[in-house]
Chain A
Amino acid sequence: MTGTGKPVSIALANCAKTFADGTRALEPLDLAIHAGETVVFLGPSGCGKTTTLRIIAGLEEPDAGGKVLFDGVDVTHLPIEQRNVGMVFQSYALFPNMTVAGNVGYGLRIRKVPDAQVKARVSEMLAMMQITRLADRRIDQLSGGQRQRVALARAIAVRPRALLLDEPLTALDAKLRDTLRLDIDSLLRSLGITAIYVTHDQAEAMALGDRIVVMEHGRVAQIGKPREIYQRPATRFVADFIGTMNRLTGTARDGVFRCKAGAVAWPEAPATATEILFRPEDIRVAGSGEAASLQGTVASAFFLGDRTRLFVDVGEERPLVIESTARRDFQHGEAVGLAIDPRGLLVL
């Protein structure tokens, strides 16, 4: 293993954060992160995800009564420089007064590692991040993607006990984000390090997280594996924040949910259901001669190459979103029959 020391488990106990101006950034939070796990904090801006990360890093202290434990040891009052965590910032925080190699080796020089070892470790890190040829460049001679790699190399060089990443890809354009996301994913897997990744991008969260912590207004809305969060959202907020969710309003009786556009057979439908939710992939345009449970009209159709995204008006507040792979040219205003897979239905 080229990477790090022994991965650490991290626990937060009753960690709240109130800022000096009285704003409550984080409600009391309990959280256990296993050693070697990648946990993603996901949520809109102001949800408390970055504050939580900064408490774990040691850049903020929780309100009195809160505790941060690394492998069971209380580190609540230990400043960041004594926690041995690697951190990657949204703005990278690379030192403009040092070269790429100088940046990557800085943490080792602070630890008084002998020069020869610093040099060896720096070359190893640069090679791992595929930026060896940038070693002597100044920071202002690097592109955004290159800066990102330097920031990662610098954070990992000191063999941290945990790697903390604060929206590391937000400043980059979409295509580069995809490439770097792959790189970060294979990096985290190969290092086996405990990693905490903060983002507001649900696609990033789904791709990278062993577990996702969805946050809203300083509270945890749901913790779970990406699949659980997507398929079994705990709250309406989570359902809306992750992926696309369709809604139908109506009433349930005798295993059938009735709405304006028709009736959906759902044997397990709870009698109190007034709204059902489902993902775009659980509904499709019914073929000719096939029984359709709903009738609607096409409001918009976007041809995306591999599929067509349909917005179908069914008399609800918002049109249904349907991903159709049919080789069909949908027309605006066209009447379509829709079939729903009852296994994908949810009530919240």
Chain B
Amino acid sequence: MKRRGLFFLQLGFTLFVCAFLIVPMILSIMAGLTVNYFVGIESGLTLRWVMEVWNGYRDTIFLSIGLALACLAATLVLGIPAAYVLAKRQNALTRAIEELLVMPVAVPGLATALALIVTYGSLSGFRTSWAFILVGHVLFTLPFMVRSVLAVLMAIDLKTLEEGAASLGAGFWERFRDIVLPNCRQGILAGSLMVVTLSMGEFNMTWLLHTPFTKTLPVGLADAYASLRLEIGSAYTLVFFIMIVPLLLAMQAFAKPRPAKFVAEETE
């Protein structure tokens, strides 16, 4: 009887979570595929809205993908060495830097964007290019890359591994290439996953930083919701899912961790 009660409790909780996590998602997708949302599904299914999104907002999709990849490249180049230095030199200064890196996540995106505009807004070539948005995205996503790589570097005995490689004749770059990078692969992949998805979905900062010519997917989505039919906005969401879900799955597959196991001594 007790177990039965527990089962229904768990079922109830699961359904409750689904009601807020999965049901709205499905309804939103359906809305993007219905002929008329207010009439309902009886009005029939169509790809018309998806095509309209594709024709009207194609550029925002490509810009978002491009931005996410550029942001990933930047955070890899900046974040991995930063994490390496933070892991190698544990002192008050590096701990302070580690905390400061997280600031753009804690501070509202609008505030960061405003600060960027106040400082660099007058450089018109820069202000109107997508690089301006990229700067904001890198500021926002960098801590996620640094933190996940740092977590892995702290978990392995980096110092001894490097000393081991050095004792075998490996210089700094060889050690970095052969020992450091492969052993923080998990952290790099996890960080990349965060960076790409965060950059793709970032709205706060981007909304202030964008110009009519540098509109990203989420900004376009806001446009669509605000000024067009609800069906188009929903179709837009669907397009976003189609882009982001395969990406997430691919990266998850890459980042599959290996289970460590205990090995008993063998008697010979």
Q: How far is the CB of A92 from chain B (nearest CB, A)?
A: 8
A248 to B185, CA, bound (A): 63
Q: A73 contacts the other chain (Cβ, under 8 Å)?
A: no
A158 to B265, CA, bound (A): 27
Interfacial residues of chain B within 249-268, with CB under 8 A of chain A in the complex = 258, 260-261, 263-266, 268
Interfacial residues of chain A within 50-109, with CB under 8 A of chain B in the complex = 57, 59, 79-82, 84-87, 89, 91-97, 106-107
A95 to B161, CA, bound (A): 7
A-B contact pairs, 5 of them (CB 8 A): A81-B170, A87-B167, A106-B170, A107-B169, A140-B263
Q: A111 contacts the other chain (Cβ, under 8 Å)?
A: yes
Which one, A92, A141, A155, contacts B261 given CB within 8 A?
Answer: A141
Q: In the complex, what residue of chain B is closest to A147 when comparing beta carbons?
A: B263
Q: Interface residues of A, CB < 8 Å — how many?
A: 37
Which residues of B lie under 8 Å from residue A91 when comparing CB positions?
Answer: 157, 160
Which residues of B lie under 8 Å from residue A57 when comparing CB positions?
Answer: 167
Known pairs A95-B161, A97-B183; A110 contacts B174 (CB<8 A): yes
Which residues of A lie under 8 Å from residue B261 when comparing CB positions?
Answer: 140-141
Known pairs A142-B263, A143-B265; A110 contacts B169 (CB<8 A): yes
Q: B163 contacts the other chain (Cβ, under 8 Å)?
A: yes
Which residues of A lie under 8 Å from residue B169 when comparing CB positions?
Answer: 81-82, 84, 107, 110-111, 158
| Structural contact, A106 and B168, CB atoms closer than 8 A | yes
Residues 138-173 of B, flagged 1 when their CB comes within 8 A of A and 0 if not, give 000000000000000000110011011111111100
Interface-central residue, A94, A107, A155, by most chain B CB under 10 Å: A107
Q: How far is the CB of A108 from chain B (nearest CB, A)?
A: 9
Q: B223 contacts the other chain (Cβ, under 8 Å)?
A: no
Which residues of B lie under 8 Å from residue A158 when comparing CB positions?
Answer: 168-169
Known pairs A93-B157, A95-B179; A106 contacts B165 (CB<8 A): yes
Interfacial residues of chain A within 285-299, with CB under 8 A of chain B in the complex = none
Which residues of A lie under 8 Å from residue B164 when comparing CB positions?
Answer: 87, 89, 92-95
Given contacts A81-B170, A106-B165, A154-B168, 20 further A-B contacts (CB under 8 A): A79-B166, A84-B169, A89-B160, A89-B163, A95-B165, A95-B179, A97-B182, A97-B185, A106-B168, A107-B168, A107-B169, A110-B168, A111-B169, A130-B268, A141-B261, A143-B266, A145-B265, A146-B263, A146-B266, A176-B265
A87 to B164, CA, bound (A): 7
Residues 193-215 of A, flagged 1 when their CB comes within 8 A of B and 0 if not, give 00000000000000000000000
| Structural contact, A96 and B183, CB atoms closer than 8 A | yes
Taking Cβ atoms with an 8 Å cutoff, the residues of A that contact B are: 57, 59, 79-82, 84-87, 89, 91-97, 106-107, 110-111, 130, 138, 140-146, 154-155, 158, 164, 173, 176
| Structural contact, A95 and B183, CB atoms closer than 8 A | yes
| Structural contact, A81 and B264, CB atoms closer than 8 A | no
Which residues of B lie under 8 Å from residue A79 when comparing CB positions?
Answer: 166
Q: How far is the CB of B161 from chain A (nearest CB, A)?
A: 5
Q: B52 contacts the other chain (Cβ, under 8 Å)?
A: no
Which one, B161, B166, B263, B265, contacts A81 given CB within 8 A?
Answer: B166
Q: Which 3 A-B pairs have the closest CB atoms?
A: A93-B164, A107-B168, A87-B167
Which residues of A lie under 8 Å from residue B165 when comparing CB positions?
Answer: 95, 106
| Structural contact, B178 and A80, CB atoms closer than 8 A | no
Q: How far is the CB of B151 from chain A (nearest CB, A)?
A: 16
A80 to B175, CA, bound (A): 13
| Structural contact, A143 and B161, CB atoms closer than 8 A | no
A87 to B166, CA, bound (A): 10
| Structural contact, A141 and B157, CB atoms closer than 8 A | no
Which residues of B lie under 8 Å from residue A145 when comparing CB positions?
Answer: 265
| Structural contact, B265 and A144, CB atoms closer than 8 A | yes
Which residues of A lie under 8 Å from residue B167 when comparing CB positions?
Answer: 57, 80-81, 85-87, 155, 164
Which residues of A lie under 8 Å from residue B160 when comparing CB positions?
Answer: 89, 91, 93
| Structural contact, B170 and A59, CB atoms closer than 8 A | no
Q: How far is the CB of A45 from chain B (nearest CB, A)?
A: 17
Q: How far is the CB of B230 from chain A (nearest CB, A)?
A: 51
A146 to B264, CA, bound (A): 10
Q: How far is the CB of B174 from chain A (nearest CB, A)?
A: 6
Residues 67-104 of B, flagged 1 when their CB comes within 8 A of A and 0 if not, give 00000000000000000000000000000000000000
Q: How far is the CB of B154 from chain A (nearest CB, A)?
A: 15
Q: How far is the CB of A152 from chain B (nearest CB, A)?
A: 13
Q: In the complex, what residue of chain B is closest to A141 when comparing beta carbons?
A: B263
A143 to B261, CA, bound (A): 10
A332 to B264, CA, bound (A): 42
Residues 224-245 of B, flagged 1 when their CB comes within 8 A of A and 0 if not, give 0000000000000000000000
